[in-house]
Amino acid sequence: MAGSNSLQFADLEPVGPGTPAGRYLRLFWQPVYRASDLPSGRAKPIEVMGEKFTLYRDDSGVAHIVAFRCAHRGAQLSLGWIEGDALRCRYHGWKFAATGQCIEQPDEPKPFCERITIPTYPVREYAGLIFGFFGDGAPPLFRTFADIDQPGIVFVDPVEILPCSFWNKMDNDPAHVPWTHRASQRRLGRPEPFKVPHEQLEEAPYGVRALVRGGKSHHRFIMPNIGQWWPRSRAPGYEGRYLGETKMVFTVPLNDQKFASYDVTHVPLVGAEGEAYAKARAEVQEAEAENRWEIAEKVLAGDLTLEEISAELSGYTAFEIEDYCTQVGQGPVAGRGQEHLGFTDIKVNLIRRLWLNEVRALLEGRPLTEWKIPAEPYALAPQ
């Protein structure tokens, strides 16, 4: 492990237990699953920050996170059965309460359940996501967001899982838009050349604020791994109408070579109109989610170009495919060689600096910044 004095950006790529970035990320609640993808009575194996766990929803609908393996012979617990709020191992039937305590050992003539437990982890459901806390000690206060909690409808897009470092996503910047997304911009009939709005960057109590369009709007980077911005809707039937979405993206490493991106969107529509909007958006994205990365891999392999992607794909999916190609194509931070950063990389440099400062403080035992989430929703200005 790198010492605090010699810590470099590439040292923030590994995320397993005991690594500098892994230790820092484990100080925060992290989303691990889309809530709608986990029905009652179902268990799933999950990986978060280089560790494997078992996620299950009990018969009453409550989600739990426990150890990946049974304490008996190391069998994968997600293969077993859910009984009430407990989980029974498929290998030999040992049963574990939601507290982690073993409560049954079938066929043992002298059960010793009281001596056997498996690790459990705090869980919260919020904004359509299941969150877990994997750090030491008591979890911190769970963070909520006024922009998500205001009246309207909240939905979560199909989870994006990309085979590259989570930094390849977090390092994404506005300067990529006219180039990475040029093919989609043309298909959507948007004027060219597409100009990148100049960003005025400043540190904020939550991380980084980027003012755009003369201060009429802004983007946020919320430490340690949340992006927030307010785009116009691209949902079918709403493209020509000014309808501002609040988008929050949680970028969570699954391991050193793979991350999950959880995209939460709030739209200020209520009742039947809100439900119709969510349905129109979800129908397109859910239908296209299954094959989007297959298309992206064909592009990376040189068998297809981004300009040749079907015009029938939605703008959402086309943008996702384009981002996949550039981010996955970058490869690992430690293996891409020397970078040559310029003026358009100011935001990249600022976020990396905040991270390095915090991780160095963690390694040295110094106090860490207490990031403060805005208490009021951001008022959207007409665009």
- Per residue in 137-168, pLDDT (tens digit) is 999 999 999 999 999 999 899 999 999 999 99
CATH code (residue 284)? 3.90.380
Residue 370 lies in a domain: no
Same domain, 260 and 351: yes
Sequence-distant contacts of 224-228: CB under 8 A, at least 24 apart = 224/24, 224/25, 224/28, 224/355, 224/358, 225/25, 225/28, 225/30, 225/166, 225/170, 225/250, 225/251, 225/252, 226/250, 226/251, 227/170, 227/251, 228/145, 228/147
What's the confidence (pLDDT) of residue 383?
A: 39
pLDDT of residue 204: 95
Residue 382 confidence class, pLDDT cut points 50, 70, 90: very low
Instruction: Please give the biggest Cα pair distance in the chain.
Output: 77
Same domain, 277 and 355: yes
Domain annotation covers residue 201: yes
Distance CA 274, CA 109 (A): 59
pLDDT band (50, 70, 90) for residue 278 = confident
Q: Indicate whether 127 belongs to any domain.
A: no
Predicted model pTM: 0.92
pLDDT at 242: 65
Please indicate, yes or no, whether residues 63 and 187 belong to a single structural domain of this protein: no
* pLDDT tens digits for range 281-339: 788 788 888 899 999 999 999 999 999 999 888 888 999 999 999 999 999 998 888 88
Is 136 among the domain residues? no
Do residues 98 and 176 both lie within one domain? no
4 falls within a domain: no
Residue at 340 is within a domain: yes
Judged by DSSP in three states, 218 sits in strand
Range of the domain at 271: 146-364
Q: Which of 87, 122, 157 is the last residue of a domain?
A: 122
Q: Same domain, yes or no, for 153 and 118? A: no
Q: Are residues 226 and 301 in the same domain?
A: yes
* Axis crossing angle, helix 315-330 with helix 271-289, rounded to the nearest 10: 50
Residue 377 maps to a domain: no
CA dist., res. 205 & res. 180, Å (int): 31
Mean pLDDT of all residues in 257-278? 91
89 and 203 inside one domain: no
User: What pLDDT score was predicted for residue 236?
Assistant: 64
Q: Is 302 exposed, middle or buried (0-12, 13-18, 19+ CB in 10 A)?
A: exposed
**Long-range contacts (CB closer than 8 Å, 24 or more residues apart) made by 188-193:** 188/315
The per-residue pLDDT of the chain, averaged, comes to 91
Confidence of residue 196 (pLDDT cuts 50, 70, 90): low
Residue 36 has pLDDT above 80, yes or no: yes
- Based on the domain organization, do 173 and 247 belong to the same domain? yes
Answer yes or no: do 82 and 164 share one domain: no
Contact 14, 22 (CB under 8 A): yes
Nearest to 100 by CA among 111, 116, 84: 116
Same domain for 188 and 49, yes or no, is no
The structural domain count of the chain equals: 2
Percent of the chain with pLDDT over 70: 92
Same domain, 243 and 342: yes
Taking 70 as the threshold, does the pLDDT of residue 240 lie above it? Answer: no
More confident residue, 56 or 176: 56
User: What pLDDT, on the 0 to 100 scale, is given for residue 239?
Assistant: 64
140 lies in a domain?
no
One domain for residues 172 and 274: yes
CATH number for position 118 = 2.102.10.10
What per-residue confidence (pLDDT) applies to 3?
A: 67
